[in-house]
Amino acid sequence: MSVLTFVEINEGKIKKASLEAAYYGSKTAEANGLASVAVVLGEAGAEELASLGQVGVSKVLHASDARFNHFDSKAYTKAVAEAVNAAAATYVVLSFNNNGKLLAPRLSVRLKAGYVPGAVELPANGLFKKNVFSGKASAQYQINTEKKIVAVNPNSLSPVKGAGTAIVEAFAPAVSDADFSTVVKGQDKITGTIPLTEADLVVSAGRGLKGPENWGMIEELAGLLGAATACSRAVADVDWRPHHEHVGQTGLTIRPNLYIAVGISGAIQHLAGVNSSKVIVVINTDPEAPFFKAADYGIVGDAFEVMPKFNAAVRKLKAAN
Amino acid sequence: MKILVPIAKVPDTTSKIAFAENNTKFVTDGVTFIMNPTDEWYALVRACELKEQQGGEVVVIHVGGADSEQIIRKALAIGADKAVRVDADPTDAYFVAAQIANHAKTENYDLIIAGKETIDYNSFQVGGMVAEFLDLPCVALVQKLDVANGVATLKREIEGGTETVEVKLPMVVCAQKELAEARIPNMKGIMGARTKPLAVVAATADDKLTTIASYALPDKAKQVKLVDKDNVEELVRLLHEEAKAF
């Protein structure tokens, strides 16, 4: 019996969120005396797959089939369900990322296995913790079926890497061309920037910046820190910033190690997207801004005065280290 | 084109969150319930737009008690043609999806458009589950949806960008922001909604696969450490040395 983790490859590399899931899978396997197995669909390098051993995976089931190079929820569900049977898995672990969010509920129905979406820590006493009410509370979920599915919230745990190497085994799931229902017409990737959902550090700004022409200092800080940039809904709605940068209830939910909010008041809808960040820094002219209640560090002051100094201090620190 | 839109009832974003009975029950006293924003603003409105362009029918389905009538009438006021309410407590996503799939399997919908997730349990489950119950294709995090000649063209979010895909109908779509602009029901819609059909059906027995054992509120409100605006270097030092954020 085993714990099976679904691992995704992007441009030849294991996705960061998948590596976290594989680590979660290995830890769960260890706690239950099970083997840690991964399944990878689509073409990928053997060396990259074997490196999953560093997070405790002993075996990788690899379906090296070009039809899987693009995500198709129906075909993927069928293939992963077959891997669950092949590995005699009692736990299925995935990342609660864009593809995992669709694959996991489909698997839940196909396997009739209870599913916890967005787990934030390893299971304890058979219970799985997840955030609810947009991060305003948490809940402990019990799964009532023998087979259990868990999707791990990205950035919830830091994989500790060891020296292991996983055995890579060919896996040929019985999927036919008819199972592939999605035809990919094209991709539009924002190049040169760090995807927000994978970023450890995020610099974000809102209406307090007064206009899109003032984002230079935000981008400068992001560049200095190697951070992604984000924004509030208000500025995305007036097209000061692109929509894909919008974090909040109707935008992206992120949980970086550091979230710096400049000129954002911190309405509850915005907090819903960022309140799980590990460290929150707020820079705002209004000492009554609700964001200060959710912040770890803050400066009451004008962004136009504070940010140049902040950037200079970071530059100095980076130069000294 | 025949379109089904599942709608959920959720506490308004600004609701106070509290728990009772040894942290096992969400306290609903004084909580205002609304239609889940992604269901209303994106899924339902896009469904209505497609119907207005191409003809057909939009049906909303809701799993919940009689006190959900208000949000169902609102969906009808926005433009849905009829509604089905499955009279049951929606405590488990698998159970809810099974009810929706059970209704849909005999109705031959071309499209089922769900919102990406509810703002209470943030689970992102029902759309994908309905698709699997019905063995239909499904695309999630959809920002753009057009239909021509029985084929849907969709733009979905991927890490670091978007992907455009084509899928032959019937299919399930999980909608998110940008798919449509929120609509405020007009007086004609509100008046019309009163007489549109709302069928109440019993739940089919189905298993509940998960149970919430307990809830918890965050330990306590954070205590912010304020740094003077003339001492920005100190903040950077704290972030580096104390918080070890970079």
Q: What is the CATH number of the domain that holds B51?
A: 3.40.50.620
Encoding tokens for residue B99?
A: 């009810």
What sign has the CA pseudo-torsion B238, B242, B243, B246? Answer: positive
Instruction: Give the one of B41, B229, B245 whose C-beta lies nearest to A301's C-beta.
Output: B229
If pLDDT is split at 50, 70 and 90, which confidence band does A311 have? Answer: very high
- Is it the case that residue A170 has pLDDT exceeding 90? yes
CB pairs under 8 A between A and B: 270
Q: Is residue B133 part of a domain?
A: yes
If pLDDT is split at 50, 70 and 90, which confidence band does A189 have? Answer: confident
pLDDT tens figures, A246-291: 999 888 889 899 999 999 999 999 999 998 899 999 999 999 999 9
How many domains are contained in chain B?
A: 1
Encoding tokens for residue A158?
A: 């830091």
pLDDT at residue B31, as a whole number: 95
Q: Does B166 touch chain A (CB under 8 A)?
A: yes
Interface test with B, best of A15, A116, A278, A281 (most B CBs within 10 A): A281
If pLDDT is split at 50, 70 and 90, which confidence band does B13 have? Answer: confident
Mean pLDDT of chain A: 95
Q: Is residue B246 part of a domain?
A: no
pLDDT at residue A321, as a whole number: 80
Domain that holds residue B33: 2-217
Q: Taking each helix axis as running N to C, give the angle between helix A100-111 and helix B93-104, from 0 to 180 degrees, rounded to the nearest 10.
A: 80
The answer to whether the CB atoms of A281 and B239 lie below 8 A apart is yes
- Distance in angstroms (rounded) separating the CA atoms of residues A5 and A55: 12
Q: Is residue B135 part of a domain?
A: yes
Q: Is residue B155 part of a domain?
A: yes
Q: Is residue B101 part of a domain?
A: yes
- Is it the case that residue A191 has pLDDT exceeding 90? no
Q: Is residue B230 part of a domain?
A: no
pLDDT tens figures, B93-143: 999 999 999 999 999 999 999 999 999 999 999 999 999 999 999 999 999
- Is it the case that residue A192 has pLDDT exceeding 70? no
The answer to whether the complex's ipTM is over 0.90 is: yes
- Distance in angstroms (rounded) separating the CA atoms of residues A225 and A202: 9
| Cβ atoms < 10 Å from Cβ of B130 | 30
For chain A, percent of residues with pLDDT exceeding 70: 99
> Which segments within chain B are labelled E, that is strand?
2-6, 9-11, 19-20, 25-26, 33-35, 57-63, 82-87, 111-115, 138-148, 151-158, 161-168, 171-175, 198-202, 210-216, 225-226
**C-alpha to C-alpha distances, A182 to A67, A70, A73, A274, nearest whole angstrom:** 11, 9, 8, 32
Exposed, middle or buried: residue B78 (CB in 10 Å: 0-12, 13-18, 19+)? Answer: buried
Encoding tokens for residue A231?
A: 């924004």
The angle at the Cα of A9, spanning A3 to A11, to the nearest 5 degrees, equals 170
pLDDT tens figures, B169-196: 999 999 998 999 999 999 999 999 999 9
What domains are defined for chain A? 2-179 (3.40.50.620), 196-320 (3.40.50.1220)
Interface test with A, best of B25, B28, B31, B123 (most A CBs within 10 A): B123
- Distance in angstroms (rounded) separating the CA atoms of residues A107 and A73: 10
Q: How many angstroms away from the CA of B1 is the closest CA of chain A?
A: 20
| Region A176-189 average pLDDT | 93
pLDDT tens figures, B15-37: 999 999 999 999 999 999 999 99
Q: Report the candidate in A115, A118, A103 with the shortest Cα–Cα distance to residue A147.
A: A115
Tell how strand A114-119 and strand A9-10 pair up.
unpaired
- Is it the case that residue B222 has pLDDT exceeding 80? no
If pLDDT is split at 50, 70 and 90, which confidence band does B207 have? Answer: confident
Q: Is residue B231 part of a domain?
A: no
- Distance in angstroms (rounded) separating the CA atoms of residues A45 and A277: 34
Q: How many angstroms away from the CA of A28 is the closest CA of chain B?
A: 19
For chain B, percent of residues with pLDDT exceeding 70: 99
- Is it the case that residue A193 has pLDDT exceeding 80? no
pLDDT at residue B40, as a whole number: 96
Encoding tokens for residue B214?
A: 């307990």
Phi, psi (rounded to 5 degrees) for B81: -90, -35
Interface test with A, best of B36, B125, B176 (most A CBs within 10 A): B125
Query: Contacts of residue A8 in chain B, CB cutoff 8 Å?
Result: none
- DSSP label at A275? T
Q: Is residue B54 part of a domain?
A: yes
